[in-house]
Amino acid sequence: MPLIFITGGVRSGKSHFAEQMAMHYYQAQSSTANRLIYLASGIALDEEMQQRILRHQADRQAQPIEWQTMEAPYAIADALAIYQADDIVLWDCVTTWLTNAFYEGFESGTPCLAQPGCVDHKLTRVKQAIEALLKRGVTLLVVSNELFDEPSYASYEVELYRQTLGQFHQWFVAIAREAYEIHYGIVKKWK
C-alpha cells in the first residue's frame, strides 16, 4: 500500500490536508478499510502545545468519520507494528517524534542524543517498522515540518537534528508513492 509524505512550514495547513487525504482514502476503501487511525507524537509540555493538540482533536471530532487516536510520543516503531491490512494511518508528526527521540532519557541524566548509536538505532527501528507496515497493506500518511529554509545554527544539537531530519525526509520521499509540500495553504505535489 502507499506511503504519502506531507511536509511544510509550521501552521501551513499540512495536518488538515493530511486528514482530508486520509479520510478520502478511507472513504474510497469503504468496503475494505478497517480503521482510520491518527498516530500522534506530540506531548503537551507547554500551554501552546496543549492548545495545538486540543485543536487537532477537535478538528478530527468534527469530521463525519470516526478517527481512532493512538498516542506514541516515543515508541513509534512499536505502535506501527500493530496495524493491520487496509488500515489508514496518519502519523503526525515526524519532527515532534524526532525531538522526543533525541531527548528521551533526559530526565534520568543521559538523553538518547548523548548515547552513542541511540538515535540511529531508533531511526533504523522506525524505518523497519514502516517497511513492514507497507508490506502488510497499510496506507500510511506521514506529516513532518520543513525546517531547511532557515539559516544554520551555532548549536551542534540543532544542526545535528536538522541533518538527521533531512536524511529522514529523503528516505521518506524515496519510498513514498506521493510527496507534498505545503506553504501558506498552497499544496505543491513533488512526487
Q: Can you tell me whether residue 189 is helix, strand or coil?
A: strand
Strands, DSSP E only, in 109-164? 139-145
Torsion on CA atoms 163, 141, 70, 88, rounded to nearest 10: -160
Question: Does the annotation count 183 as an active-site position?
Answer: no
Query: Does 120 appear as a known binding residue?
Result: no
Helix 156-175 / helix 118-135 crossing angle, nearest 10 deg: 20
Query: Does 35 appear as a known binding residue?
Result: no
Query: Does 185 appear as a known binding residue?
Result: no
Query: Does 152 appear as a known binding residue?
Result: no
Query: Does 12 appear as a known binding residue?
Result: yes
Query: Does 13 appear as a known binding residue?
Result: yes
The distance of Cα 70 from the centroid of its chain, to the nearest Å, equals 12
Q: Which of 24, 56, 121, 169 is catalytic?
A: 56
The distance of Cα 121 from the centroid of its chain, to the nearest Å, equals 18
Contacts of 8 (CB under 8 A, 6+ apart): 14, 145, 146, 180, 181, 182, 183
Query: Does 137 appear as a known binding residue?
Result: no
Query: Does 108 appear as a known binding residue?
Result: no
Query: Hey, which residues are catalytic here?
Result: 56
Residues flagged as binding site: 8-15, 40-42, 71, 92
Residues flagged as binding site for GTP: 8-15, 40-42, 71, 92
